[in-house]
Amino acid sequence: MDPILDLARPSILRNPYPSYDRMRETGPVFWHELLGSWVLTRHADCLAVLTDSNRFASDWRRAGEDIPAPLLSVQTLDPPEHTAIRHLLLDGFRAQDRRALHDDLEGQIADLLAELAGRPSFDLVGELAEPIALRFVTAFLGVPAPALDWFVPMSRTVVDGMDAGLWPEKHEPAVAARAQLAEYAGGWLADPPKDGLIAYVAEHAADSGVAETVLRNSLRAVLHAGYESASRLLGNAAAALLTTPGALAAFRATPATAVDELIRYDAPVQADARVCVTDTELGGVTMKAGDPVTLFLGAANHDPLRFDHPTELRLDRAPNPHLGFGRGAHACLGASMAIRLTGSVLGTLATDHPGARAVAEPEHRRNLTLRGLDRFEVCLRPDTGEEVRP
């Protein structure tokens, strides 16, 4: 049995956290031959790597590796190159009228849930999480949403490629999909909208010193990361609330802390990677310069040395120093969008549809780096024992 490959088995995919516990207890830092990487499972070790860009790089060129130009983005650069593009994007984020976007989002959520409430059941992933996430992220960017039937398969192919260390056949399709999304994002810069993040970036790009390739790739990353983070978090969080007795009602009482706990409990970002820049010691082992390091953030978020009763969903948990969206300079750019969207949807669900319930077990996608649902059939009406008709 391989502790990493076993995570893709359907029975473990539904709940990988006991397997993470066994890895942490057996050897919290270990070398995995197939991945060709050190694996970290403790919160303290993962946090140390995420916040130390001097020893652990996101930019693999610092360890002597080549990075193709299509991969150079805010996600793969380190300071000082990373600083310029991240500041440009963060300044653009701050310049947006987030209150107006949020108010518009609230109306869309209420309307969509009201429409779905008239159905006997519906797929929360395909009919709520994915379309509302794409609408929200593209509204923030200031561009029209692409067709779901084009964008979603493309986005999923990119996510599949994140597990190419285990399944190499997923690499080339992901490279092609990423290139198509980058070309799509490049069109925004050529003909920018009047409002939104794209408009801000286009206006300030010349003064930023950021190469056009990096700009295009980074906008692709914002679209993709924002959508995937938001849609997967919403699906995972809804599944946790609707399969845990009393959790939906508890959400109404603890909105300030509930979303952070849902992220900790079943985060979309389960793993991240860095490379050692210099020989170093961590977790009792010696790592050599050039060694890859894989951080199992899902395991870190269930580390009993950091969280009391980590297997329990405690919506009032505070403080909650989860690593669900990373930490440090490369913390997920889509985190704020994912948190805002999830809080809005679940808040409306808990308030307007308190009888919402699962009518089937959630089905998970076969992804290890990003965790998310493939399908989750739910009903917004309380179970009265009678047949529900449209």
Q: Stretch 358-365: mean pLDDT, rounded?
A: 98
Q: Stretch 275-279: mean pLDDT, rounded?
A: 98
CA distance between the termini of the chain? 48
Q: What percent of the chain has pLDDT over 70?
A: 98
Q: Which pLDDT score, from 0 to 100, does residue 332 have?
A: 86
Q: Which pLDDT score, from 0 to 100, does residue 69 have?
A: 86
Confidence of residue 389 (pLDDT cuts 50, 70, 90): very low
Instruction: Tell me: pLDDT of 247 over 90.
Output: yes
Q: Which pLDDT score, from 0 to 100, does residue 229 have?
A: 94
Q: Which pLDDT score, from 0 to 100, does residue 84 have?
A: 95
pLDDT 10s digits, 143-162: 999 999 999 999 999 999 99
The C-alpha atoms of residue 264 and residue 299 are separated, in whole angstroms, by 10
Question: Which CATH code is given to the segment(s) 5-379?
Answer: 1.10.630.10
Neighbours of 387 (CB within 10 A): 6
191 Cβ contact partners less than 8 Å away, ≥ 6 residues apart: none
Confidence of residue 385 (pLDDT cuts 50, 70, 90): low
Q: What are phi and psi of 97, to 5 degrees?
A: -85, 80
Per-domain boundaries in the chain: 5-379
The C-alpha atoms of residue 31 and residue 159 are separated, in whole angstroms, by 24
Q: Stretch 251-276: mean pLDDT, rounded?
A: 96
At 258 the three-state DSSP class reads helix
At 158 the three-state DSSP class reads helix
Instruction: Tell me: pLDDT of 388 over 50.
Output: no
Instruction: Tell me: pLDDT of 390 over 50.
Output: no
Q: With a threshold of 0.75, does the pTM exceed it?
A: yes
Which residue, 260, 292, 46, is CA-closest to 164?
292
**Structure tokens, 60:** 């693999």
**Rg of the Cα atoms in the chain:** 21
Q: Stretch 192-212: mean pLDDT, rounded?
A: 94
DSSP state at residue 54 = T
Element (H, E) at 285: strand 285-287
Q: Stretch 80-93: mean pLDDT, rounded?
A: 94
The C-alpha atoms of residue 125 and residue 145 are separated, in whole angstroms, by 17
**DSSP alpha helices (H): ranges in 14-97?**
17-26, 43-50, 81-94
Confidence of residue 99 (pLDDT cuts 50, 70, 90): confident
Instruction: Tell me: pLDDT of 288 over 90.
Output: yes
Measure Cα distances from 172 to 60, 101, 121, 155, 157 in Å: 19, 37, 37, 14, 10
